[in-house]
Amino acid sequence: MTSGPTPNQQAITPTPPRVAAFFDLDKTIIATSSAFAFGREFMHNGLITTSEALQMSLAKATYMIAGQSSEQMDTTRDQLASMVAGWSVEQVREIASETMHNVVTPAIYAEARELIAFHRNAGHDVIIISASASHLVGLIAEELGINQVVATELEVADGYFTGEILFYCKGAAKAEAITDLATEHDYDLALSYAYSDSATDIPMLEMVGNPVTVNPDRAMKKTALERGWEIRSFRHPVPLFQMPSPREVSIGASVVAVVTAAAAGSIWWARGRRGSA
């Protein structure tokens, strides 16, 4: 009589590879800038002045039209870090939480929600990886039901922001974070996905076997075409700042020029003037 296989002879089912989907946030998941989105709400709560809120609005408009270069991102990083120094972390969270559904939720791309759902249904881990501050990115991740976030970390002491940056999640730092996550969670990066709009995230997309550009800026689109990367367009909702019609451009060209120049020159011009007075 033939006996069955011993326990040591039992077939071992291989563990399926773990796959991750890494998402940039601004202009990839949401049709706005998470760094600038809450300017009006911060003003209403006395954290910034009317002039500073206006400069944030102008900066957001410029960002939606032309994006930001690597150097502009660094400048924005420094200005934002300086601005929040002394702010209560709890107050910022409360303001952002209370206004999330009015400010950010309407700006989430329907296509991004569908794509996140697709990856979840496929058993993939979904991770937001963003240059914006983790205190804001985390709230948006909660709205989307995402529990893994890698974002810029601001120093906090005794419940208040100090103005120092502990980790800046941009460019090569995103690629390094993905490497660390892959090691920690045993992700197969050759099977994994990454999504972004900005050329500053090319190092992140190079890390995975399935790089996808979403609403790519000019430099990102050029790279995508050269390397054969997938290009997707997310259109719903329409970005919060829309380009004016040709007639509006003709009527208000000088106003648009002044607004763009002011935003590009310095987001916190008014704050700088007040501080040097």
Catalytic residues: 24, 26
User: CATH number of the domain at 17-266, please?
Assistant: 3.40.50.1000
More confident call, 65 vs 150: 150
Residue 22's identity, in one-letter code, is F
Instruction: Provide the CA 28 distance to its chain's centre, in angstroms.
Output: 7
In the chain, what are the domain boundaries?
17-266
Q: Give the per-residue pLDDT at 61.
A: 54
| pLDDT, the chain, mean | 79
Query: Cβ of 66: how many Cβ atoms within 10 Å?
Result: 14
Per-residue pLDDT tens over the stretch 23-78: 999 889 998 777 667 777 877 777 767 776 666 655 555 555 556 566 766 666 67
Per-residue pLDDT tens over the stretch 93-107: 998 888 888 888 888
Cα 176 from Cα 119, distance rounded (Å): 22
Cα 217 from Cα 219, distance rounded (Å): 6
Q: Give the per-residue pLDDT at 6.
A: 58
Per-residue pLDDT tens over the stretch 206-254: 999 999 999 999 999 999 999 999 999 998 874 433 434 343 333 333 3
- pTM value surpassing 0.85: no
Per-residue pLDDT tens over the stretch 241-254: 343 434 333 333 33
Classified as helix, coil or strand, 127 is strand
Q: Give the per-residue pLDDT at 257.
A: 37
Q: Give the per-residue pLDDT at 54.
A: 65
